[in-house]
Amino acid sequence: ILYNELSVKEHLELIAKLRHMDKRTMDDSIENIILLIGLTNDRLTLAKDLSGGMKRRLSIGISLVGDPKVLILDEPTSGI
């Protein structure tokens, strides 16, 4: 679920806080995820202003917060 009034970075920060990540780890992880999902230039863009493919990449980025050992995706590249 994406919140229209949150930016890409704010979405990732919210999930990191919910997963009780410390500030330093959170900042490093978020920067790496933003780079990995290719939204570096859109880090401050609100979700409502992202294209469908960008929203999908953000959703994948959200699932990467906290460095999960296993990630199960159903059609992860659909719409990217």
Q: Is 0.85 surpassed by the pTM of this model?
A: yes
pLDDT tens across 1-56, in order?
A: 899 999 999 999 999 999 999 999 999 999 999 999 999 999 999 999 999 999 99
Cα R_g (the chain), whole angstroms: 12
Distance CA 33, CA 19 (A): 15
Side-chain-side CA neighbours of residue 19 (13 Å) = 19
Q: Calculate the alpha carbon distances from 18 to 1, 62, 75 in Å.
A: 14, 12, 26
